[in-house]
Structure 1
Amino acid sequence: MQLSVAETFSGTLRTLDSLLEKAADQGGKDADELMSARLAPDMYPLATQVCFAVYHALEIPHRLRGEPVPESVVAHVMAGLDPDNPGTLAAARARVADAIAILETAPAANPTPLGDAMVRIEQPNGTFAMTGEQYVRDWAMHQFYFHVMTAYAILRAAGIAIGKADYMPFARFKVA
């Protein structure tokens, strides 16, 4: 069995888009204020969670091919770090839609794994080095799902009527 990371990320980004759509529909005239909402004072707001989810989905093909992450991908993170300009739900949805389109195009949809080559990630607290498999399993998936789930939790805490079936839409296809 072989799994497609691009399919996994694009499917979950579709879920994120659906959550943002529900927020826009239910939020009324103040819906865009949700972009500044946070779970806790020391956590990033919804706008940043969306940007980080998009970034982590888009960086993986480049890292697995041993390429530098393009500035256009890094720009997603930078856009989410401006507390004075959190943007709108419509802009967040457009960012997610763009990421889905990128993930569904070659060669991004079919990265060539590095095998035993190391993926190196520079962070302020140090450099992380891991194999391509470790990177996907232990870094990329966790980072991506953390930010998508945090976006879900922010919306839920803000009173948006969403539940597990909205986060895991495939659950409605249960075979009796």
Structure 2
Amino acid sequence: MAVSLHSIATLSILPRFKGLKLALEQAEAYATERKIDPSVLINARLFPDMAPLKGQVQLSSDHAKGAFYRTAGIAPPPMADEEQSFAELHARIDKTIELIGAVTPEQMNGREEEQVELKFRTGAMQFSVHDYLIGFALPNFYFHVTTAYDILRHNGLPLGKGLYMGRG
């Protein structure tokens, strides 16, 4: 069986994204149980120049969408980064899962050599679809999901690797 872009993206992203949602549910319960203002966790960061928890969730969402949509040759649907509560972060993850579920294997597979261009303030980057997915989208997605976990662990949540791997 040939490995497909869609299966790579799906098997890499969905379990970790669902695990992130479970981690946020645990964080919400943790805050309630310990009478911690939820905004303390939502705005927590590992270092002052890093994005807070909510930003890590938003960025992981953006990279998840990008992995599917750009690989399919479609501009990812924009989402405003306005989440301020656990409920809003859960909704963002749910919406992202819904959006990436709309991208079919037929839209993604077979486009490995097509080109993707990303534009940044500092310039543009060109990739083949294969290199974009494997070398940019997935590493960035993993980075932001892992950083979200690290923020929660740093704040005392007893999260394990199984949750990160999508095994709850």
Task: Give the TM-score normalised by the residue count of structure 2.
Answer: 0.85
Which SS does the other structure have where 2:108 is aligned?
coil
For 1:50 and 1:109, locate their aligned partners in 2 and report how far apart those are by CA, in whole Å. Answer: 28
Q: Relative CO higher for 1 or 2, CA cutoff 8 Å, sep ≥ 6?
A: 2
Percent of pairs with identical residues: 29
Amino acid at match of 1:115: E
Which SS does the other structure have where 1:27 is aligned?
helix
Ranges in structure 2 where 5+ consecutive residues have no aligned partner: none
Which SS does the other structure have where 1:148 is aligned?
helix
For 2:165 and 2:112, locate their aligned partners in 1 and report how far apart those are by CA, in whole Å. Answer: 31
Which SS does the other structure have where 1:165 is aligned?
helix
CA contact (8 A) 1:49 1:151 kept: yes
Count of residues in Structure 1 that have an aligned counterpart in Structure 2: 161
1:139 matched to 2:136? yes
Ranges in structure 1 where 5+ consecutive residues have no aligned partner: 81-85
Deviation at 1:110, TM superposition (A): 5.1
- Alignment RMSD: 2.1
Which SS does the other structure have where 1:160 is aligned?
coil
For 2:157 and 2:17, locate their aligned partners in 1 and report how far apart those are by CA, in whole Å. Answer: 18
Mean Cα deviation higher: 33-42 or 111-120: 111-120
Q: 1:61 to 1:109 in 2, by over 3 A?
A: farther
For 1:137 and 1:54, locate their aligned partners in 2 and report how far apart those are by CA, in whole Å. Answer: 17
Moved over 4 A (4+): none
Task: Give the TM-score normalised by the residue count of structure 1.
Answer: 0.81
Residue in 2 aligned with 1:92?
89
Which SS does the other structure have where 2:25 is aligned?
helix
